[in-house]
């Protein structure tokens, strides 16, 4: 379980720019085996939150613990999947997927066996010896997911992993991720801008405010699981439409209020 208490983060001033408060007094509990999606306006601190949990970003105030142990930095219990793929361009797909195992000192035979298993799982069998530049964006993101899964993390941190993909590829990878999660039941924290994606994937949805990021609400998603084999019927249901519509109304209200509030502020 991940416990976040009173978390705040401000990025210092740069040049003539003022300091930026990214997250303010954020409290959140992420349950073991939960698929938690995080939704909010651009710049609300979603990625900052994810990077802090990954151990890649320090914070100013508050505390984070994983299974009652204070978070001190990156660890083997967490793996991250980035929107930008972040693959080694000179390494083959097999080498990219096996990279984390190599760093951990796993034997070449075992790490290549595991990498091949995962390459097959994400539908890339036959592409083991290709380079990332020879693959489409969707295929590269499959490699990124396989690489994260290779180290068998307890927690999977996903920063808009499908955000740069075309709609068809995005939908296919959403279904594939559901299949993988339903098999492994890892704890997943998934950042997205898409209301539909947040509802389809998540057990709960964390709704964040415009910067500085605060948690406005946590929305339960009462849709049945498993979902991978029933995506079309789920997305066509009245319940799915109702939840996504409510999320959109709340996001629109937050951003409209913020825009009008700034317009009404007196000039300095």
Q: What is the pLDDT of residue 163?
A: 86
pLDDT tens digits, 196-243: 999 999 999 999 999 889 999 999 999 999 998 899 999 999 999 999
Please compute the mean of the pLDDT values over residues 239-259 and round it to a whole number.
86
What is the structure's pLDDT at 261?
A: 55
Domain chopping of the chain, boundaries? 2-66+156-264
pLDDT, tens digit, for every residue of 10-58? 998 887 788 889 999 999 999 999 999 999 888 888 999 999 999 999 9
pLDDT band at 267 (very low <50, low <70, confident <90, very high): very low
Reply yes or no on whether the pLDDT at 189 is more than 90. Answer: yes
Mean pLDDT, residues 110-128: 93
Q: What is the mean pLDDT of the chain?
A: 90
Domain 2-66+156-264 sits in which CATH superfamily?
A: P-loop containing nucleotide triphosphate hydrolases (3.40.50.300)
3-state secondary structure the chain: CEEEEEEEEEECCECCECCEEEEEEEEEEECCCCEEEEECCCCCCHHHHHHHHHCCCCCCEEEEEECCEECCCCCCCEEEECCCCCCCCCCCHHHHHHHHHHHCCCCHHHHHHHHHHHHHHCCCCCCCCCCHHHCCHHHHHHHHHHHHHHCCCCEEEEECCCCCCCHHHHHHHHHHHHHHHHHHCCEEEEEECCHHHHHHHCCEEEEECCCCECEEEEEECCCCCCCHHHHHHHHCCHHHHHHHHHHHHHHHHHHHHHHHHHHHCCCC
Across residues 72-89, what is the average pLDDT?
88
């Amino acid at each position: 379980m991940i416990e976040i208490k009173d978390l705040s983060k401000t990025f210092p001033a740069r040049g003539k720019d003022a300091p930026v408060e990214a997250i303010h007094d954020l409290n959140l509990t992420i349950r073991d085996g939960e698929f938690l999606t995080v939704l909010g306006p651009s710049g609300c601190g979603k990625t900052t939150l994810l990077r802090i949990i990954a151990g890649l970003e320090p914070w100013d105030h508050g505390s984070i613990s994983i299974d009652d142990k204070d978070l001190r930095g990156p660890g083997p219990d967490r793996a991250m999947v980035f929107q930008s793929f972040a693959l080694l361009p000179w390494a083959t797909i097999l080498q990219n997927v096996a990279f984390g195992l190599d760093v951990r000192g796993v034997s070449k035979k075992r790490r290549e066996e595991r990498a091949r298993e995962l390459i097959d799982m994400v539908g890339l069998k036959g592409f083991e010896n290709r380079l990332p530049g020879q693959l489409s964006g969707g295929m590269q993101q499959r490699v990124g997911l396989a690489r994260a899964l290779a180290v068998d993390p307890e927690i999977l941190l996903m920063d808009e992993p499908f955000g740069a993909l075309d709609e068809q590829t995005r939908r296919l990878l959403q279904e594939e991720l559901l299949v993988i999660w339903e098999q492994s039941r890892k704890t997943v924290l998934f950042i997205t801008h898409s209301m539909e994606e947040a509802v389809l994937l998540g057990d709960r949805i964390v709704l964040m405010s415009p910067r500085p990021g605060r948690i406005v609400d946590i929305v339960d998603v009462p849709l049945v699981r498993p979902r991978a084999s029933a995506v079309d019927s789920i997305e066509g249901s009245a319940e799915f439409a109702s939840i996504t519509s409510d999320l959109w109304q709340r996001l629109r209200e937050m951003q409209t209020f913020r825009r009008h509030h700034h317009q009404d502020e007196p000039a300095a």
